[in-house]
Chains A and B, each alone.
Chain A
Amino acid sequence: MKQYPYTDKKDTRSGFGAGMTELGRTNPDVVTLCADLVGSLKIDTFIQENPERFFQCGISEANMIGVSAGLAITGKIPFATTFANFGSSRVFDQIRQAVAYSNKNVKIAVSHAGLTLGEDGATHQVLEDLAMMKALPNMTVINPCDYNQTKAATIASANLEGPVYLRFGRPVIPVFIPEDMPFEIGKAITLNEGTDVSIFATGHLVWEALQACQILEDEGISAEIINIHTIKPLDTEAILASVKKTGCCVSAEEHQINGGLGESIAHTLVTNYLAPQEFVGVKDTFGESGTPDELMEKYGLKAASIVEAAKKAISRKSK
């Protein structure tokens, strides 16, 4: 399989911070808002360099979304930042009316998504945000997989006209996406070509999918690894092309299976090309406290679960 060597481990939120630093220097229309989580969002440099373009909102996420919509009306490109739970479920109606329905150029950029936020537990571990956001017309939904991709996605979000939900996380993970790899919103990235099973992964599960690919290869199974960083609009062309070749697939995400990426893929398959699909994700349960790694293990989001799902998908192919 294609190798993705890495020398560094970083959190995806730092990739967001780096993207914001660059946007601060290159795009005078970009403004940032935060609800008392500046350090967690890694936007200190942006604020230092552009104090007049930062608005501290305090712990008032609903207001932050509204103020962002207002700034967007005047032609600014606001990035509203907080934890994923407080930037989605907490403010769904504000996003729905003032951002999505009103089609405002607001970027909702949120960290600490999913289980890997860790010890804070289920109150903070949003696993339903992709479902909510992908259900909104006009909304683009992006879940990048490492530091470099998050930085690229941040910059690409600013250049896209329209509402964006950009979701990233807290844990430190390998930086395996080459810095110069092109990033295009809505365009899936094939990380490894294979013939037996397609594995569609997003966010932190992409690295796990690459680990799974190696394990499968050692057992003589050829897996195609496709990184779906954009949940919506979904790259259905890439998905169908891959499944037509391999005949089955696995979806892998740090999110509820209900309403997640896997369901979007299933919809694509059911309406275009029937093939077995297995789902790696959280199975209709809340999370809990623990280290990111322990939680990924307990909730079945590690490479081993992807391997198992891949074998099951393959076994269900009609002979």
Chain B
Amino acid sequence: MNLQDIASQVRRDIVRMVHGVKSGHPGGSLGCTDLLVSLYFKHMELKTDDQGQVVFDMEGNNEDVFFLSNGHISPVLYSVLAHRGYFPVPELATFRKLDSRLQGHPATAEHLPGIRIASGSLGQGLSVAIGVALGKKLKGDSHLVYVLMGDGEQQEGQIWEAATFAPHHKVDNLIAFIDFNGQQIDGPTDKVMNNRDLGAKYEAFGWEVLHMDGNDYTSLDTVLTQAKGLAGQGKPIIIITKTEMGQGVDFMMHTHKWHGTAPNDEQLAKALAQLPETLGDY
């Protein structure tokens, strides 16, 4: 199955999950779908058994690992993890419900395979990813650590502590992404708190900075391949990933309004009509 078809199903899952509990964050999830599908279904080296089934262990030795720092876009991560085989797809129906392993924001307490740290309070994931990258180096494991952050999230001070730390300690087995959708809760990022030139900032901090269109599979493929090639050369890597919040559902695009709003029945039907069911709905 090609990546676009998987993404279409993931987008269906996202709007259905959020609709199902009348809460959650569809906008960023839809925008980052192509990136997560590219990572988990193509670019990451994941641990599998003889049958090719992914196997999860907490330490993640000898495989690439991914961290979601902007934990509110949990729907996209849950759907991708489920379709990649980390847990049964029907479990997506439990999202945000009592006794579920699929908490509103990712958590480890319920032991959901694929999740290694809680996130939700923004600004922490880059630090955690750096720690994992250091741990891998100490163990002689040459696999990569990926971490996704929001662009609004860049306003958190801890990010810049981490951004200073990683080049200083030559954490070059780390590829970070900024979901550069230009939106956050209270409006466009430029209006809420202008981040200015994030690329120039990270460059000044000592990072290798790349740019990518996060909703274009050619760009994703080219830049992710390039980034992996730059690993191990003394610098941490960050990819400013241009995305469209709400990508794939026309009325959810070009606005911050769907950052954390659930569609009603009518809106759900309208959204699903734009997203072919490719792998079967949960």
The answer to whether the Cβ of B121 comes within 8 Å of any Cβ in the partner chain is yes
Inter-subunit contact A67/B130 (CB<8 Å)? yes
Inter-subunit contact A101/B127 (CB<8 Å)? no
Inter-subunit contact A98/B138 (CB<8 Å)? no
Inter-subunit contact A73/B165 (CB<8 Å)? no
Inter-subunit contact A97/B121 (CB<8 Å)? yes
Contacts of B116 in A (CB 8 A): 73
Which of these, B61, B131, B168, contacts A71 with CB under 8 Å?
Answer: B131
Over the window 49-66 of chain B, the binary record of Cβ atoms lying under 8 Å from chain A Cβ atoms (1 yes, 0 no) is 000000000111100000
Q: Is the interface of B mostly helix, strand, loop or mixed?
A: helix
The answer to whether the Cβ of B161 comes within 8 Å of any Cβ in the partner chain is yes
Inter-subunit contact B127/A67 (CB<8 Å)? yes
Min CB–CB distance B22 → chain A (angstroms): 25
Min CB–CB distance A64 → chain B (angstroms): 8
Q: How far is the CA of A270 from the CA of B273 in the complex (A)?
A: 61
Contacts of B109 in A (CB 8 A): 101-103
The answer to whether the Cβ of A52 comes within 8 Å of any Cβ in the partner chain is yes
The answer to whether the Cβ of A159 comes within 8 Å of any Cβ in the partner chain is no
Which of these, B59, B124, B168, contacts A66 with CB under 8 Å?
Answer: B124
Contacts of A93 in B (CB 8 A): 121
Q: How large is the interface on B (under 10, 10 to 19, 20 to 34, 35 or more residues)?
A: 35 or more
The answer to whether the Cβ of B276 comes within 8 Å of any Cβ in the partner chain is no
The answer to whether the Cβ of A234 comes within 8 Å of any Cβ in the partner chain is no
Given contacts A62-B127, A63-B127, A98-B118, contact A74 B135 (CB under 8 A): yes
Q: How far is the CA of A17 from the CA of B128 in the complex (A)?
A: 26
Inter-subunit contact A58/B128 (CB<8 Å)? no
Inter-subunit contact A103/B108 (CB<8 Å)? yes
Min CB–CB distance A134 → chain B (angstroms): 19
8 Å CB interface, B163-218 against A? 164-165, 168-169
Q: How far is the CA of A39 from the CA of B127 in the complex (A)?
A: 24
The answer to whether the Cβ of A72 comes within 8 Å of any Cβ in the partner chain is yes
Interface centre among A67, A69, A93 (most CB of B within 10 A): A67
The answer to whether the Cβ of B126 comes within 8 Å of any Cβ in the partner chain is yes
Min CB–CB distance B105 → chain A (angstroms): 9
The answer to whether the Cβ of B107 comes within 8 Å of any Cβ in the partner chain is yes
The answer to whether the Cβ of B162 comes within 8 Å of any Cβ in the partner chain is yes
Given contacts A63-B165, A65-B127, A67-B128, contact A97 B118 (CB under 8 A): yes
Which of these, B61, B130, B139, B164, contacts A70 with CB under 8 Å?
Answer: B130
8 Å CB interface, A176-216 against B? none
Inter-subunit contact B135/A66 (CB<8 Å)? no
Min CB–CB distance B165 → chain A (angstroms): 6
Contacts of A74 in B (CB 8 A): 59-61, 131-132, 135-136, 138-139
Pull 23 A–B residue pairs with CB atoms less than 8 Å apart, ordered by A: A55-B134, A55-B169, A58-B165, A58-B168, A60-B165, A62-B161, A63-B158, A66-B162, A67-B127, A67-B134, A67-B162, A69-B127, A71-B132, A73-B58, A73-B59, A73-B135, A74-B136, A74-B139, A76-B135, A76-B138, A98-B117, A102-B117, A103-B109
Name B residues whose Cβ lies closer than 8 Å to a Cβ of A.
58-61, 107-109, 116-121, 123-136, 138-139, 157-158, 161-162, 164-165, 168-169
Name A residues whose Cβ lies closer than 8 Å to a Cβ of B.
31, 52-53, 55, 57-58, 60, 62-76, 78, 93-94, 96-98, 101-104
Q: A73-B116, A94-B127, A94-B158 are in contact. List 19 more A-B contacts (CB 8 A).
A: A53-B138, A60-B165, A63-B127, A63-B130, A63-B162, A63-B164, A67-B131, A70-B117, A70-B129, A70-B130, A70-B131, A74-B131, A74-B136, A78-B131, A94-B124, A98-B117, A98-B118, A98-B128, A103-B108
